A and B are shown apart, each in its own frame.
Chain A
Amino acid sequence: MRFLREIALIFWLYVEESRSALGYFLLSAVALPAGMLLFTTGVAEGKPSIRLLAGSMVFALSMLSVVGLGFTLLEDRFRGRLKLIITSPVSPRSYLLGVFLFALCQGLLSAALMLLFAAVLHLRPHLAWSLPLIAVVSTIPLAAIALMSARYAHNIQQGALLNDLVGTGAVLVCPVFYSVEVLPAPLRYISRVLPPTYAADAFWKVLSDRPGIGFDLLVLGLMSVAVLLWGSHLLPWRDE
């Protein structure tokens, strides 16, 4: 019970802290993935497609969870806020889940806004209850990338650059906006261990009403469980 209460408190703490930037958040939550959808549609000779929509939703999750959450974690570590939390009785796992929940809500909102934006391009995606589930199991492994950069960065600038690089790079080197066959052989292997590959595939299948998301969900689910079990060890909760 205390564990759940701590998670909720951490979540609300970050919601309140971010409230003043709500306008900017909403703008970036729409503008960044929508811009990506328009850009990729342009590259595809002006033909919008469900694959590109799925890719843009993964891009939205990646931007919010890796870049957005990553910056929050970096600020916590390098501006001394983490020290304040570490010296209070909050457990590392509660903190981790609280900030993950915060990132997840942002990612879900951004991905949902993309579904609305799809109407502008006259796309008619198939909607299903499995979409939020895919978003959840995709965000957790992506958030782990943010956690790692916050753990190992030497300063806030270095960490922010790393987050930008990984947050956008992971989406671009994975078969998110195109099929895996398009990728050069080495990238195919790399993309197999990166969550955007499975997230994009699962979104694409659901949005285009195709079956077979079981394997994608299984991989993302296993990645999420691993992050939830071991992620708190990555937090700089006690220095050596």
Chain B
Amino acid sequence: MTTVIRIQALTKRYSNGTLALDNLDLSVPGGELLVILGPNGAGKTTLVRQITTELRPSAGTIEIFGIDVVHEPQRIKQLMGVVPQEAGLFEHLTVSRHLRYFARFRGATSEEARAAMYCALGELDLERFSAVAIKDLSGGLKRRTLVALALIMNPPILILDEPTSGLDPESRSKVWEVLHRRKNAGSTILITTHYLEEAEKLADRAAIVSRGKLIALGTVDELGTRAARGPAPRTDLTEVYFQLVRGDH
């Protein structure tokens, strides 16, 4: 399968000297849903922000469909729907107006934007809230709106930084359903999460990042086998995760 995201020797050292990512290599084939796990401060968001062109790498390369993200950020953004970790919305704008503006930013005509808006509203169960201003929405609904903005106009790649953080179980399962559907339609998806259950439910492969390094990569079963020390392979991701992360520390 064609590699859609290719990361080579990626290193990020911040101006205060912190080494957030250390020589990380990662490839994501087309149509895969890759979940990135890791403790707080492991480098997950630093990795995502470099892929989404928000942060300049100190060294190494990131290519998406063979396009370098540092040199051609605008082309990359056209291919990508992003849920940044701490993004804010326009408080006085309604959900539907957000969707229409962001569809137009992706090059849609007014009519296309309207159609895409209805589609995204339906996908995230936001129809009832379409005319509600963001300031009147709960935190969970704001997060769902951010996910809808990333999905609008069906970009081939989705990069979601903790998309379900703060969502109730029902909303979380709705987002999972949407991501499954998008993956089945051929989208390449990369998400970060702290919910191991989410990784188990969604991931084709999971990557565990700790202290800026990729310490494990594989399917949930492969990770279990790798972490196992006894004769029987462990398949429970929670156990595997703690073993790998603690082992790294």
Taking Cβ atoms with an 8 Å cutoff, the residues of A that contact B are 2, 5-6, 9, 13, 16-20, 79-81, 83-84, 86-91, 238-240
Q: Is the pair A17, B105 in contact by a Cβ cutoff of 8 Å?
A: no
Q: Is the interface of A mostly helix, strand, loop or mixed?
A: helix
5 A–B contact pairs at CB < 8 A? A18-B92, A80-B86, A87-B87, A89-B105, A240-B55
Which residues on B sit within 8 Å (CB–CB) of A18? 92
Which residues on B sit within 8 Å (CB–CB) of A86? 53-54
CA distance A18 to B109 in the complex (A): 24
B17: interface (CB < 8 Å): no
Q: Is the pair B87, A83 in contact by a Cβ cutoff of 8 Å?
A: yes
Which residues on A sit within 8 Å (CB–CB) of B55? 238-240
Q: Which residue of B lies closest to A88 (CB)?
A: B105
Q: Closest approach, in angstroms, between the C-beta of B118 and any C-beta of chain A?
A: 19
Q: Is the pair B84, A89 in contact by a Cβ cutoff of 8 Å?
A: no
Q: Is the pair A17, B53 in contact by a Cβ cutoff of 8 Å?
A: no
Which one, B56, B84, B97, B105, contacts A6 given CB within 8 A? B105
Q: Is the pair B73, A238 in contact by a Cβ cutoff of 8 Å?
A: yes
Which residues on B sit within 8 Å (CB–CB) of A240? 15, 55-56
Contact-size category for B: 20 to 34
CA distance A18 to B91 in the complex (A): 10
B107: interface (CB < 8 Å): yes
B106: interface (CB < 8 Å): yes
Q: Is the pair B54, A16 in contact by a Cβ cutoff of 8 Å?
A: no
CA distance A91 to B97 in the complex (A): 20
CA distance A13 to B90 in the complex (A): 9
CA distance A18 to B90 in the complex (A): 10
Q: Is the pair A17, B54 in contact by a Cβ cutoff of 8 Å?
A: no
Q: Is the pair B77, A87 in contact by a Cβ cutoff of 8 Å?
A: yes
B49: interface (CB < 8 Å): yes
CA distance A206 to B56 in the complex (A): 48
Q: Is the pair A9, B91 in contact by a Cβ cutoff of 8 Å?
A: no
B129: interface (CB < 8 Å): no
CA distance A83 to B107 in the complex (A): 19
CA distance A5 to B78 in the complex (A): 16
Which residues on A sit within 8 Å (CB–CB) of B149? 84
Q: Closest approach, in angstroms, between the C-beta of A21 and any C-beta of chain B?
A: 8
Q: Which residue of A lies closest to B146 (CB)?
A: A84
Q: Is the pair B101, A83 in contact by a Cβ cutoff of 8 Å?
A: no
Q: Is the pair A9, B78 in contact by a Cβ cutoff of 8 Å?
A: no
Which residues on B sit within 8 Å (CB–CB) of A80? 84, 86-88
Other A-B contacts than A83-B84, A87-B54, A240-B56, 11 sampled, CB-CB below 8 A, are A13-B93, A79-B88, A80-B84, A83-B86, A87-B82, A87-B84, A89-B77, A89-B78, A89-B107, A238-B56, A239-B49
